[in-house]
Amino acid sequence: MTAKVGAVVLAAGQARRFGGDKLLAIWRGQPLVVWAIRTALGASEGPVIVVVDDPAGAVAALTADWREPRLTVVEAADHALGLAHSLRAGLAALPETVDGALIFLGDMPRIPPAMGPVLIRALTDGKLAVAPMFKGRRGHPVLVVRGLFPDIDRLEGDSGAGKLLGALGSAVALVESDDDGILFDVDTPADLAALSDSKRPG
């Protein structure tokens, strides 16, 4: 099937385990969130929504530096209630012309640049979502069709789309990846230190 796909980058949150704003932590000369946004922009020609906790904050300012018309910053006023609320805000901001959305996490800088297009190509008729797999573990980004947006809208707290996808069975297309970057997120300073020994393709 041919689908118009947008992207949502989740970049709101407290980062309590990191001890500061981890999305602004520098890896290879750029804040972590910049890597996520770049990958989202390269995934398709559709709109990219960056969900933040403060529309006047540093992450929002970074997006302004791009001067990219496809990029929109959206505030998740209730982000403190959990990831589901940020995801809800991001999906709601996508135009109705979008058939689905790739969901990126702002603290995952090692997503392979080619992964987004691979997932879009794997979205065939009858599938409601597509996710990458590395050695049996499902990773990110995840592609969901618009038909799932109402179900995601009913999620609460820190529940992302993962539990929902787990209940969809064969309606989820799984794409094997040879890159563990689809699993690697930064929660602590130790995770960031480990990035120095890792490689980002592309």
Q: State the CATH number of the domain containing residue 120.
A: 3.90.550.10
- pLDDT tens digit sequence for 58-95: 899 988 878 889 999 999 988 888 888 899 999 999 99
In a domain? residue 201: no
DSSP 174: E
Q: Is residue 124 part of a domain?
A: yes
pLDDT given at position 201: 47
At 202, the pLDDT band (50, 70, 90 cuts) reads very low
Return the structure tokens found at 41: 């922009």
7-43 pLDDT per residue, tens:
999 998 656 656 568 899 898 899 999 999 999 999 9
Instruction: Give the residue, 138 or 187, on which the prediction is more confident.
Output: 138
Residue 37's pLDDT is what? Answer: 96
Looking at the domain assignment, is residue 87 inside a domain? Answer: yes
In angstroms, the CA 142 to CA 91 distance is 13
User: Pairing mode, if any, of strands 100-105 and 5-11?
Assistant: parallel
Indicate the pTM of the whole model.
Answer: 0.92
Task: List the beta bridge partners of residue 109.
Answer: none
Which two three-digit tokens encode residue 158? 């820190």
pLDDT for residue 15: 60
Bridge partner residues of 129 (DSSP): 144, 172
Whether 30 is in a domain gets the answer yes
Domain that holds residue 25: 5-195
Residue type, 124: T
In the chain, how many domains are there?
1
Answer yes or no: is 202 within a domain.
no
Tell me whether residue 111 is in a domain.
yes
Q: Which two tokens stand for residue 172?
A: 């989820």
Residue 184 lies in a domain: yes
Domain-located, residue 200: no
Task: List the one residue out of 1, 81, 86 whose CA is nearest residue 50.
Answer: 86
